[in-house]
Structure 1
Amino acid sequence: MEAPCEKPPRTTPAPVTVIIVNWNSGPLLKECLTNLARQTVSPSRIIVVDNASTDGSADDLNGPDNITVQHAESNLGFAAGNNRAMEQCSTEFVALVNPDAFPEREWLEELLRAAQANPEAAAFASRMIQKEQPERLDGVGDAYHVTGVFWRIGHGQKHWSTRLHPHPVFSACAGAALFRLQAVRDAGGFDEDFFCYGEDVDLGFRLRLSGHTVHYVPEAVAYHVGGGSSGGAQSDVAAYYGQRNLPWVFLKNMPSPLLWPLLPAHILLNVLLVVRAAGRGQGYLALRAKRDTASRLPEVWKKRRAIQARRRIGLCALWRVLAKGWPR
């Protein structure tokens, strides 16, 4: 019995640039590029921004012929690395992929199909599956709670039938997602002060405020290791930047009629997060992160004024897309 034929890649490259920001990802980066080389729709270009890796992960890369590797002199972080690459893009779309994310063959084709069907949407989230536990989800887009906490929808849960249907989400996890380049530029790109963690939710919030929507595309599947270079969700790197950046997302983006009534709950949330971090032995790290959050508040408030001046979404429409219940 003959093996089923694989769908050949489209000969004309699609109007999309794939961007991968790499830092000491080891063999994961090469596996990611191998998966991209097998896509049924080929991107116009793949840009790998290597943030001064010391493990040789970005050396002698094999894969598609349309790869450009750019070596930064220092670790720019995820936000700045993507911004530098997007400055060089002329395609209609950019697809962001973490080096520890491995897209299925029709991933890019499905995202582009969803983009064509939803012209009002600026971002498209993948169905991300845990690489080591493929029966469990890594996430199907991001949710943002009224208190200012955010999470990957469905993280750690087994596949539900409801996860196989497309629907709007608050923002797209940039570990494997598609964006309309002009919408991202109009929103100001990633906030480079974030360095890493939460910058994709912050961008998603600004896209929302600009009047765009974000869609989850269940047919676009990518397998994700998670924390491939940062040490995982419980690492000191994740704990510090997660604690520091979380209030910035809330303070920059929440419109004033919602910000002030919700601020007490947001402050309480941050206290509880510090307490939880202390229970994991990271209390000092969390306190240092909150101190650094406060030290930049004048800059955050300046950004807030510019963001709110460009707001196009009504309060009721924004309230409807904010989560009010427990993570699920």
Structure 2
Amino acid sequence: MSWPAARHAYPKGPLMEAFREHPSRSTYAPVTVIIVNWNSGRLLQQCLEALSKQSVTPSSILVVDNASTDGSIDNLPESENITVKRADINLGFAAGNNWAIEACSTEFIALLNPDAFPAPGWLEELLHAAERSPEAAAFASRMIQHNEPELLDGAGDAYHVTGLFWRIGHGRKPSPATLHTRPVFSACAGAALYRRQAVREAGGFDEDFFCYGEDVDLGFRLRLSGHTVLYVPKAIAYHVGGGSSGGTQSDFAAYYGQRNLPWVFLKNMPTTLMWALLPAHILVNVLLILRAMSRGQGRIVLRAKWDAASQLREVWKKRRAIQAQRRVGPRALWPFLHKGWPR
């Protein structure tokens, strides 16, 4: 498959020259690592300990605490480049990251969940990829399940023509495709690198999402702006998963995941594709409701779909703005949509 050329290219900086000149010591890099925390307990400290062992030292580490009540930020390791911003309420993942991004001035931002523990070369590999691929705006990590390290947690995100999305390879052993650098639809924000300028130009995370699917939504808008997203298999992070939300099968995850799923589709899918694929999208949502009923979560998912529908007027306003500004049409987007049997 030949990939459409990106419309954006970013200048190469002196960062990698510094790596080559001083290969045996850490070098401060023009990147802010952002961690949005909410009642993550000891996981946050483990995450920061892993960051302290990076082969490349970030300019700063910014922890946004969403009004935690478990004392998770009370005994953080002392470091001159760790800053904590405390919110009075739980802003959610989307708004918490936006708050942090607005406080940053570095060229890059690296987002990391408090239950994700990066390998020592994680940040350096992402920055190397950014220098090698100036046309890309986002870089996905190879996320490995912390408790079952022989299994993937995700190798970038896939987006299906029906509007479903998932982490590539989740729960499976690595395949040859997940061991090579390649374009993916979007990056899982649990461990990813972004060009800050591109994120701001795309409008940041949609704060109405609160959490779940907001990174796919951002990745969709980056693609519509002409950017590419790259998967970097050598950038490894070990992910616990559901460290503060109760896990991927919890009612919390079911509600927000199912509410936000149609918003991603309706906001971003180009008009000709949206109308052509809408029947399949509706069918998938019906099947998801039926599956939830079989799992005892029917009421939760029905409420999620009702709440999603109740906001359609606002979603349509966002859609008009996104479609008016997009630089990529259906033909360029089509190769990046998954068309096989969905996960």
Give runs of aligned pairs for residues 273-284 of structure 1, distance below 5 A.
273-284=288-299
Partner of 2:223: 208
Say how many residue pairs are matched.
321
Partner of 1:41: 56
Q: Deviations over 1:12-31 (max 9, x none)?
A: x1000000000000100000
Which of 199, 202, 226 is the aligned partner of 2:214? 199
Give runs of aligned pairs for residues 159-308 of structure 1, distance below 5 A.
159-308=174-323
C-alpha separation in 1, matches of 2:97 and 2:24:
29
How far does residue 314 in structure 1 lie from its aligned partner after superposition?
A: 2.5
Which of 149, 156, 167 is the aligned partner of 1:141? 156
C-alpha separation in 2, matches of 1:126 and 1:166:
10
SS in 1 for 2:315: helix
Partner of 2:76: 61
C-alpha separation in 1, matches of 2:76 and 2:93:
20
SS in 1 for 2:246: coil
SS in 1 for 2:212: coil
Q: Give yes or no for the alignment of 1:99 onto 2:114.
A: yes
How far does residue 327 in structure 1 lie from its aligned partner after superposition?
A: 4.2
Which of 89, 102, 106 is the aligned partner of 2:104? 89
Partner of 1:78: 93
How far does residue 59 in structure 1 lie from its aligned partner after superposition?
A: 1.1
Which of 327, 330, 333 is the aligned partner of 1:318? 333
Maintained 8 Å contact 1:9/1:42: no
Which of 47, 54, 66 is the aligned partner of 1:32? 47
Question: Is the alpha carbon distance of 1:299 and 1:92 closer, same or farther for their aligned partners in structure 2, counting shifts above 3 Å?
Answer: same
Maintained 8 Å contact 1:37/1:64: no
What's the TM-score, normalizing by structure 2? 0.92
How far does residue 161 in structure 1 lie from its aligned partner after superposition?
A: 2.6
Give runs of aligned pairs for residues 106-117 of structure 1, distance below 5 A.
106-117=121-132
How far does residue 317 in structure 1 lie from its aligned partner after superposition?
A: 1.2
How far does residue 315 in structure 1 lie from its aligned partner after superposition?
A: 1.4
C-alpha separation in 2, matches of 1:65 and 1:8:
22
Q: Deviations over 1:244-298 (max 9, x none)?
A: 0000000000010100010010000000001111111110111100110011100
The residue type paired with residue 219 of structure 1 is K
Moved over 6 A (4+): none
* Percent identity of paired positions between Structure 1 and Structure 2: 74
How far does residue 206 in structure 1 lie from its aligned partner after superposition?
A: 0.1
SS in 1 for 2:131: helix
C-alpha separation in 2, matches of 1:326 and 1:101:
29
C-alpha separation in 2, matches of 1:296 and 1:209:
23
How far does residue 238 in structure 1 lie from its aligned partner after superposition?
A: 0.2
Partner of 1:10: 26
Maintained 8 Å contact 1:127/1:220: yes
Maintained 8 Å contact 2:270/2:329: no
C-alpha separation in 2, matches of 1:24 and 1:239:
19
Which of 134, 154, 164 is the aligned partner of 1:119? 134
C-alpha separation in 2, matches of 1:181 and 1:163:
26
Instruction: Point out the more displaced range, 156-165 or 173-182.
Output: 156-165
C-alpha separation in 1, matches of 2:149 and 2:25:
26
Question: Is the alpha carbon distance of 1:125 and 1:155 closer, same or farther for their aligned partners in structure 2, counting shifts above 3 Å?
Answer: same
Unaligned runs of 5+ in 2: 1-22
The residue type paired with residue 108 of structure 2 is F
Question: Is the alpha carbon distance of 1:132 and 1:284 closer, same or farther for their aligned partners in structure 2, counting shifts above 3 Å?
Answer: same
Instruction: Point out the more displaced range, 155-164 or 224-233.
Output: 155-164
C-alpha separation in 2, matches of 1:9 and 1:35:
17
How far does residue 326 in structure 1 lie from its aligned partner after superposition?
A: 2.3
